[in-house]
Amino acid sequence: MLKFSFFTTFFLLSFLLYSEARSEISSFFLNNGMEVVVIEDHRAPIVTHMVWYKTGAADENLGKSGVAHLLEHLLFKETKNVKTGEFSKKVESLGGSDNAFTSQDYTGYYQRVSSDYLELVMYYEADRMKNLVISEKDFKTELDVVIEERNQRTDSNPSALFNEQNMASLYLNHPYGIPIVGWRHELDNLTRKDVINFYNHYYAPNNAILIVAGDVEPEKVKLLAEKFYGKIGRNNNLTDRIRPSEPPQIVQRRLIFADERVAQSYLVRTYIAEERDTGKQRAAAAFTLLADLLGSGGIQSILGKELQLNSKKAIYTNAYYNGRSFDDTHFSLIVVPSDEVSLKEIEIELDRVIDDLLLNGIDEKHLNRIKFQYKAQQIYALDSAFSQARRFGAALTSGLKVEDVLAWPSELQEIDSVDILKAAKLLFKKEKSVTGWIRRPAKVEN
Amino acid sequence: MKFLMAIVLMLVFFGVKPMYADLDIKELTTKNGIKFWLVEERSLPFISLEMRFRGGTSMDDYESRGAINFMTSLLEEGSGSLNAMSFSQERDRIAASFEFDVGRDDLSVSAKFLSETRPKATELLRNALTKPRFDMEATERVRKQIISVIESDKKNPRKIAQSELLKLTFLDHLYSSSELGDKKTINSLKRDDLIRAHKISLNSDRVSIAIVGDIGEQEAIQMLEELLRDVPKSTKALPGRAASKFNLGMKVIDYPSPQSVVFFTLQGIKRTDPNFFDAFVMNHILGGAGFNSRLMKEIREKRGLTYSVSTSLTQYDNAELYLGMFQSSNEKVSIAIDILKKELLNMAENGVSDEELLGAKKFLIGAYPLRFDGNVRIAKILASMQFMGLSKDYIKSRNDKIRAIKSSDIALVAKKLLSFEDFTIVVVGKPEGL
């Protein structure tokens, strides 16, 4: 068993004020290839138990969008040993909570219960890794539920609809361009067999990560994990995750989305950007800090200062980048113009701010404040074992290793303004971007 | 299932580990008589401070509604000698976090800062609370943001439904209008209105405070004395009971969407009502959190008519609602509403089975200690408890109140709350067959 001791130290201002906080992270593999991570937090006798599959929507077969997420719903139905809903009911009877989530790269299931019940939830979670039964009736009903979910989250929301089109335009070939919940017309044609095939192939211990966080001892977790997960056979047919990749992107794309439900016009510019890779996180660290410089902290940020505070041409600005992704991810800039400012004008302003940044460089004091906040975040993050577990799960299912997660905070600290500027120059290439205008139809009075 | 037996036996022999019973809450008082609760938790070098000032947006005057929310948004936009930019830079330089949030009946302040930065964080927060500048630049910038949100809410089907439901229920009381105010009132607000809103919203005799983290008794007392030194006592009376109307039947609002949003309400129950806990458990069974409520089972699990349906007992200081909501495809929403009505009446007439009651009790009793996890979460709970007038002993006795409930108690409260076929429902969408 590998044991990492994760020490975070920080210095404040120029004084030698010193403090240290630690969280014990242990990590090991079972014989069948299942990875296990234990995060200890003994402040309260509570445990979060999570199983993450290294499979998400981007691993679906062409034409079968929505399968990964529909399967996630169906895991709450029956197995050979357990009746429909029994697991959730059991967790509820313990006062616990449970849920699941699906992304492009992973599918995760969790329970949060008193630490006395770790063994119990492990029994059920291990059971549904292998023994799921999908009846035709459950399949049909749950497909209806998923369509309602799509109606609620996407089809009723113009921003979400635009986002779907935006990703489809940004990725010319990679499946990140297909929505996680599935295209509506493909959902309508999914079959029970599609879901079963997906389950049989991907739900196996050598494709899963167990994360246990809270008031637990790694030795005890190891014994239990061997008992429940260790006896499940591997799937030797699983291959490396190689998805269709992007061709060179050589044309700038523009989208204009008009919907009468839009109240406030806005602009989104999205660029393809490198993600965090194991042993190679520097570019992603630079993009992370670049996004903060551009968009975090309201009027302190570059976009906020230029467009909200100085020129008053925008009422809201932001920048977004998340490096936890298996394949190339994206970097987004969002600007909501003031009433009297057109989308065309705000786009010119946005380009001007980017050009100025590339030309004039970065305010070192601003960068230092952002880096110090990341140091403090290492302390604040220890207040929630659940969030720590999620962070590890998302990273490990995106091709990263525990060492990468532990190294990430210091990688961020090592990035300087020269690195960030270099990253920005690589990133801000219009031919690798989509510019979207979201507005009301022209004929409707604003 | 052999191993399940083993676990059950283990529990019988060892019992469940005590959880929050050892949460050591100290009740302290500052020199100027402000009471607060403290939990010393030294394992992480930061402090979480939670304050709830009674009043909130219901202290607005009707003709200048939105002023209190506007003022609250400006607390972090410059104070004392610092303008908006300098304030946010100073705050970020020490990586402190201050959140100001205003609700119908309270203005809450959530602060989090590293132990070493306590003096600086206290100074910044004190200035934000007592010396906001309401500079012209920040005021106009934030005014535009608020108007943008008000306009967006008018296009958001959930907000439309919620707002209509409150309008029908509360007529011309402030509870009936948006906490943000409307475009006209926001545009009319002047600096003096914001100063006045500030004066009536943050008062030292109306605050509930909890501190959790890396700080001792004396330091905590000193910190609060420093922080609240210049916070004035209240001058404006709190508002009285709100007149409300229930059981107004269904109202449909046309909205272009494949799905209809449904919001409904009945009359709720006061937190101090002797039958509150009966209603609380009943709600859990009918439409409370999780997959296993009756409404989730009937509308989602069995028939796939919605993604999520829930109900909640909502207590304002001056009114009580029993709210619920779900979304369903336009062509299916009428069936879903029929099932909803059937389930509400079924609960009113037949109450709950002993088995359901047992399941609900297990969950509510088991879930309570799981809430006490993390400094920030604990601080929020402790401030809320004081805000609701509960003593710290409540934590120990709360589960006994749940244990004591009988299915006959629930039958009584269900009859009282749910026997109304014409409860108010607002549907926003293009529903078929309504």
Domain residue extents for chain A? 2-228, 253-439
Residues 6 or more apart whose CB falls under 8 angstroms from that of B385 comprise B392, B394, B395
Based on the number of CB atoms within 10 Å of its own CB, is B53 exposed (0-12), middle (13-18) or buried (19 or more)? buried
CA distances from A376 to A409, B114, B148 (A): 10, 7, 33
Mean pLDDT of B3-9: 34
Residues of chain B numbered 281-300 and touching chain A (CB < 8 Å): 290-292, 300
Nearest CA in chain B to A47: B370
What is the per-residue pLDDT across A337-386, written as a single tens digit (0 to 9) for each? 999 999 999 999 999 999 999 999 999 999 999 999 999 999 999 999 99
pLDDT score of B6:
34
Mean pLDDT for all residues in chain A:
93
Give the 3-state secondary structure percentages of chain B, helix then strand then coil, rounded to 5.
Answer: 50, 20, 30
What is the per-residue pLDDT across B386-404, written as a single tens digit (0 to 9) for each? 999 999 999 999 999 999 9
CA angle B385, B387, B391 (to 5 degrees): 45
CB of B164 within 8 A of CB of B153? Answer: no
Q: A223-233 b/e with 16+ CB inside 10 Å = b?
A: ebbeebbbebe
d(CA A57, CA A46): 31
d(CA B17, CA A385): 19
Residues of chain B numbered 51-80 and touching chain A (CB < 8 Å): none
pLDDT score of B171:
87
pLDDT score of B254:
97
With beta carbons under 8 A apart, name residues in chain B contacting A117: 7
pLDDT over 60 at B220, yes or no: yes
- CB count in 10 Å sphere of residue A439: 19
pLDDT over 60 at A275, yes or no: yes
d(CA B39, CA B25): 5
And the tokens for B61?
């005057």
For B380: left if phi > 0, alpha if psi spans -120 to 50, otherwise beta; the answer is alpha
pLDDT over 50 at B13, yes or no: no
pLDDT over 80 at A248, yes or no: yes
pLDDT score of A404:
96
Catalytic residue list contains A149: no
- CATH code: domain A2-228 is 3.30.830.10
pLDDT score of B172:
81
pLDDT over 50 at A36, yes or no: yes
Give phi and psi for A38, each to the nearest 5: -120, 125
d(CA A432, CA B377): 43
What is the per-residue pLDDT across A70-83, written as a single tens digit (0 to 9) for each? 999 999 999 999 99
- CB count in 10 Å sphere of residue A137: 11
Beta bridge partners, A99, equal A110
Split at pLDDT 50, 70, 90, the class of A443 is low
Beta bridge partners, B267, equal B321
- For chain B, say whether A260 makes contact (Cβ under 8 Å): yes
Residues of chain B numbered 226-245 and touching chain A (CB < 8 Å): none
- CATH code: domain B250-429 is 3.30.830.10
d(CA A285, CA A92): 40
pLDDT score of A18:
33
Give domain B26-228's CATH number out of 3.40.50.1450, 3.20.20.140, 3.40.50.880, 3.30.830.10.
Answer: 3.30.830.10
Helices of type H across A46-157? 67-74, 86-93, 118-130, 136-150
The domain spans of chain B are: 26-228, 250-429
With beta carbons under 8 A apart, name residues in chain A contacting B329: 147-148, 151
What is the per-residue pLDDT across A138-179, written as a single tens digit (0 to 9) for each? 999 999 999 999 999 999 999 999 999 999 999 999 999 999
With beta carbons under 8 A apart, name residues in chain B contacting A367: none
| ipTM of the complex in this document | 0.90
pLDDT score of B128:
98
CB of A5 within 8 A of CB of A24? Answer: yes
Cα–chain-centroid distance for residue A22? 25
pLDDT over 90 at A420, yes or no: yes
What is the per-residue pLDDT across B242-286, written as a single tens digit (0 to 9) for each? 999 999 999 999 999 999 999 999 999 999 999 999 999 999 999
State the sign of the Cα–Cα–Cα–Cα dihedral B27, B31, B33, B36. negative
A192-202 and A136-150 helices, crossing angle to 10°: 90
pLDDT over 50 at A8, yes or no: no
- CATH code: domain A253-439 is 3.30.830.10
pLDDT over 90 at A445, yes or no: no
Could you tell me which of B221, B203, B201 has the C-alpha nearest to residue B211?
A: B221
Q: Among the options A72, A78, A125, A164, which is catalytic? A: A72
With beta carbons under 8 A apart, name residues in chain B contacting A114: 16-17, 19, 366, 369-370
pLDDT over 90 at A109, yes or no: yes
Nearest CA in chain B to A316: B145
Give phi and psi for A75, each to the nearest 5: -65, -15
Q: A267-288 b/e with 16+ CB inside 10 Å = b?
A: bbbbbbbbbbbeeebbbbbbbb
- In the three-class reduction of DSSP (H, G, I as helix; E, B as strand; rest coil), residue A20 is classed as strand
CA angle B416, B342, B431 (to 5 degrees): 120
Pairwise CB contact (< 8 Å): B366 & A116: no
Pairwise CB contact (< 8 Å): B148 & A336: yes
- For chain A, say whether B162 makes contact (Cβ under 8 Å): no
**Residue with structure tokens 């003994």?**
A42
Split at pLDDT 50, 70, 90, the class of A22 is low
Could you tell me which of A65, A104, A100 has the C-alpha nearest to residue A194?
A: A65
Residues 6 or more apart whose CB falls under 8 angstroms from that of A37 comprise A25, A26, A27, A209, A210, A211, A212, A392, A396, A402
What is the per-residue pLDDT across B325-350, written as a single tens digit (0 to 9) for each? 999 999 999 999 999 999 999 999 99
Closest partner residue to A114 (CB to CB) among B1, B16, B144 is B16
pLDDT score of B290:
74
CB of B130 within 8 A of CB of B51? Answer: no
pLDDT score of B10:
34
And the tokens for A366?
């601003």
- For chain A, say whether B171 makes contact (Cβ under 8 Å): no
d(CA A420, CA A282): 10
State the sign of the Cα–Cα–Cα–Cα dihedral A367, A368, A374, A376. negative
Strand bridging mode B207-213 / B46-54 = antiparallel
d(CA A360, CA A362): 7
User: Which element (helix H / strand E) includes B285?
Assistant: helix B276-287
Domains B26-228 and B250-429 share a fold: yes
d(CA A59, CA A175): 8
